[in-house]
Amino acid sequence: MNTTTKIEAAPKVGMVSLGCPKALVDSERILTKLRADGYDMSPDYAGADVVLVNTCGFLDSAKEESLEAIGEAIAENGRVIVTGCMGNEAEVIRSRFPEVLAVTGAHQYEDVVGAVHDAAPPARGEFVDLVPNLDAMGGLKLTPRHYSYLKISEGCNHSCSFCIIPSLRGKLASRRIDAVLREAEKLLAAGTKELLVISQDTSAYGVDTRHEERDWKGSPVRAHMTDLARELGQLRTAEGNAPWTRLHYVYPYPHVDAVIPLMAEGLLTPYLDIPFQHAAPSVLKRMKRPANEAKVLERLKGWRDICPDITVRSSFVVGFPGETEEDFQYLLDWLEEAQLDRVGAFRFEPVEGAQANALDNPVPEEVKEERYARIMDKTAAISAAKLQAKVGRTLPVIIDEVGDADEDGDIGATARSQADAPEIDGNVFLRNVPDSLQAGDICEAEIEEADAHDLFGKLINISCD
């Protein structure tokens, strides 16, 4: 007699991930655990048994975006679990959306997975445990296959007056360096060609563990940014090439100088993301940030002497309480001298719970807007000049997307140079690429044109890594 075993259908989980790359990594870890527990992923609301909304709570505008996303998920699906930074304000979420099934805080992986189990119990059957070892494969990813975020720590020990990150994510908690390197190795083996190192404060990595040593491939390695950078530079992709490795959220502590030679040697991508926030000493003091802008200018010059191709990106806040016209002009003059390659700017926005809310002399909204426009004009002019200087050069680029052929049969592609982090900086737009080109290929491109933010060019070799 023939018998058949009915396999219970796996429940499906939908995910809406908001906020910074650190939150995206949290989403990837949650989905990896759920997939290992036998859940399937749903690309839309309609097919999901439950929807997770990973929220951002850094700014009031981000909170409102998170609340709108929760509302949309409830309207479209009805069964919603909320997690992430705004999870610390459960009462706000529940007062607006009492039907939410559960609310958990940032990086509370066990709690959110437990809430999913309660809302949509995992399938049970004799084949349930026959799922792939996702951890060994690098886990589920929400980014394209060729680049990955590598989170090295949680939390932050700073007490900046405009920021509530420590109250959302706690004090600095560094991961073991052998665990970080093992994850990086798995990501590269699974197809990653570009590692983006992230945290709240990458320069402080290991401070909380007194830079403890761990064994890595038979040698002791400290939990320290410079040791980590050096070891990441020794790893290789599945094709045997050195990956592009970018350092993000790097505070300009003195030991940052030690990673610049690694960039000159080709062990690290010559790129630093440093959150300067401002340059005027009086504003930095009110922000409770180090006021060493003159020293930074000297160090920038020294970095460029060692590694001429280094790209430095940063972000700045305009309209901080007490910022005078003289303070703002100081910032513009500092930017002219610093010649940063990539700059983002933000209008100051009060955040509930931030110390800056109590500061006097708030800047009127119309003044914020005027200063925002001026800083964007200034930085766009600097960027345009820097990019124009690259016209005629040959640069390595990584392919992000290959387009369809147009009416003449020509195919274009969107790429990035080593000066461009994904979804943050500019692009390199390529013309007449071969149809064999694929996302993740690293090629040489000749730069033919430039504007204020992007480069345009053509491939000069057909074979790519």
CATH number of the structural domain spanning residue 98: 3.40.50.12160
Quick one: 104 and 159 in the same domain?
A: no
Does a structural domain hold residue 406?
yes
Domain annotation covers residue 400: yes
Average pLDDT taken over every residue of the chain: 89
Question: How much is the pLDDT for 314?
Answer: 96
The answer to the question of residue 281 being in a domain is yes
Do both 29 and 74 map to the same domain? Answer: yes
Write the CATH number for 421.
Answer: 2.40.50.140
Nearest C-alpha neighbor of 86 from the set 188, 189, 167? 167
In this predicted structure, the answer to whether residue 138 has a pLDDT above a threshold of 70 is no
Summarised one tens digit per residue, pLDDT across range 449-465 is 999 999 999 999 766 77
The pLDDT value recorded for residue 5 is 47
Q: Is the pLDDT of residue 135 over 60?
A: no
Same structural domain for residues 170 and 271?
Answer: yes
Does residue 210 lie within any of the structural domains? Answer: yes
Say if residue 364 is in the same domain as residue 323.
yes
pLDDT digits (tens, 9 = 90+) for 150-206: 999 988 887 777 776 777 778 899 999 999 999 999 999 999 999 999 999 999 999
| pLDDT at residue 143, as a whole number | 84
Q: Among 388, 408, 430, give the residue marking a domain's end.
A: 388
The answer on 269 and 164 residing in a single domain is yes
Verify that 337 and 360 share a domain, yes or no.
yes
Per the structure, the complete domain to which residue 245 belongs is given by 147-388
- The answer to whether position 465 is within a domain reads no
Mean pLDDT of the 296-324 span: 95
Q: Are residues 202 and 324 in the same domain?
A: yes
Same domain, 360 and 239: yes
Same domain, 269 and 335: yes
The reported pLDDT for the residue numbered 292 is 64
pLDDT for res 128 = 47
Query: Residues of the chain with pLDDT > 70: what percent?
Result: 93
Mean of pLDDT values over 100-107: 86
Higher pLDDT, 275 or 6: 275
3 state SS for the chain? CCCCCCCCCCCEEEEEECCCHHHHHHHHHHHHHHHHCCCEECCCCCCCCEEEEEECCCCHHHHHHHHHHHHHHHHHCCCEEEEEHHHHHHHHHHHHCCCCCEECCCCCHHHHHHHHHHHCCCCCCCCCCCCCCCCCCCCCCCCCCCEEEEECEECCCCCCCCCCHHHHHCCCEECCHHHHHHHHHHHHHCCCCEEEEECCCHHHCCHHHCCCEEEECCEEEECCHHHHHHHHCCCCCCCCCCCEEEECCCCCCHHHHHHHHHHHCCCCCCEEECCCECCCHHHHHHHCCCCCHHHHHHHHHHHHHHCCCCEEEEEEEECCCCCCHHHHHHHHHHHHHHCCCEEEEEECCCCCCCHHHHCCCCCCHHHHHHHHHHHHHHHHHHHHHHHHCCCCCEEEEEEEEECCCCCCCCCCEEEEECCCCCCCCCCEEEECCCCCCCCCCEEEEEEEEECCCCEEEEECCCCCC
Averaged pLDDT for residues 278-289 = 91
Give Rg (Cα) of the chain: 24
Q: Is position 223 within any domain?
A: yes
| Domain identity same for 400 and 360 | no
Q: Is the pLDDT of residue 4 over 70?
A: no
130 in a structural domain? no
The answer on 380 and 400 residing in a single domain is: no
Domain count, the chain: 3
Assigned domain for 6 exists: no
pLDDT of amino acid 463: 64
Residues 331-383 have pLDDT tens digits of 999 999 999 999 999 999 887 777 877 788 999 999 999 999 999 999 999 99
377/407 same-domain check: no
For the chain, what percent of residues have pLDDT higher than 90?
64
d(CA 459, CA 445) in angstroms, rounded, equals 4
